[in-house]
Chain A
Amino acid sequence: DTGVSQDPRHKITKRGQNVTFRCDPISEHNRLYWYRQTLGQGPEFLTYFQNEAQLEKSRLLSDRFSAERPKGSFSTLEIQRTEQGDSAMYLCASSLGRLAGVTGELFFGEGSRLTVL
């Protein structure tokens, strides 16, 4: 296993179009996270899954954003009716949940960079 993979790595789209990003986590990891990062800022939490269950969504995730993780394997993040403010790096990370609910370290994919024109 070569780690977390994301696709596509770069996406340029026009305002109003829909885009979808895919993330394949490290195979034995049961937790999958989506973060967004803009220039000069640290990653901001968007949502996360434990297996197939989506446990939390940040208030940053407007109704235009939806994430799924069918069968607890890969995940998709869809943005509908994109806006210029959606331009960012979308990072996926996975981790192996530990006993007592303490998460382990997050391992990030290479990210999907979105540019909305």
Chain B
Amino acid sequence: QKEVEQNSGPLSVPEGAIASLNCTYSDRVSQSFFWYRQYSGKSPELIMSIYSNGDKEDGRFTAQLNKASQYVSLLIRDSQPSDSATYLCAVNSYSNDYKLSFGAGTTVTVRA
């Protein structure tokens, strides 16, 4: 079982719609959760971090964390063509010596 798994995608949404990305993780004691955006040929860019159960909103992005279900999600509201990218879920924990483990990413395409 991979440490971090994401829905494989690709995910295609029309402009203005909500894109929903999911991520599950295997280490129950994971403590910190991150979403990175990666444009083709570029490096990952941090867009959201979440540490406690519930929702965290930042502009058009909302991260949701449920530690009991070992599940973290990212919602992108009012999707724009500029949101077209690969979104990487990353997790760290004490048992993993606090280094980030990444999922394989979900590629999102926003259709104009």
Q: Give the interface of A toward B (CB within 8 A).
A: 33, 35, 40-45, 48, 55-56, 89, 91, 101-103, 105-111
A103-B92, A105-B34 are known contacts. Are A110 and B42 too (CB-CB below 8 A)? yes
Point out the residues of chain A lying under 8 angstroms from B102, CB to CB: 35, 42-44
Chain B residues near A43 (CB, 8 Å)? 44, 88, 100, 102
Contact (Cβ within 8 A) A48 B99? yes
Given A42-B90, A89-B43, A105-B49, 19 more pairs with CB closer than 8 A: A33-B99, A40-B104, A40-B105, A41-B105, A42-B88, A42-B102, A42-B103, A42-B104, A43-B44, A43-B88, A43-B100, A44-B102, A45-B99, A56-B97, A102-B32, A102-B92, A106-B34, A106-B90, A108-B44
A106 touches B100 (CB 8 A): yes
Which residue of chain A is the closest to B42 with respect to CB atoms? A110
Q: In whole angstroms, what is the CA distance A41 to B43 when docked?
A: 13
Complex contacts, B49 vs chain A, CB 8 Å:
105
A-B contact count (CB 8 A): 58
Residue of A41, A89, A103 near B104 (CB, 8 A) is A41
- 21 cross-chain CB contacts under 8 A: A33-B100, A35-B102, A41-B105, A42-B104, A42-B105, A43-B44, A44-B102, A45-B99, A45-B101, A56-B97, A91-B43, A101-B98, A102-B94, A103-B92, A103-B99, A105-B49, A106-B34, A106-B90, A108-B43, A108-B44, A108-B45
- CB of A106 within 8 A of CB of B98, answer no
A40-B104, A41-B104, A42-B105 as given contacts; A105 in contact with B46, CB under 8 Å: yes
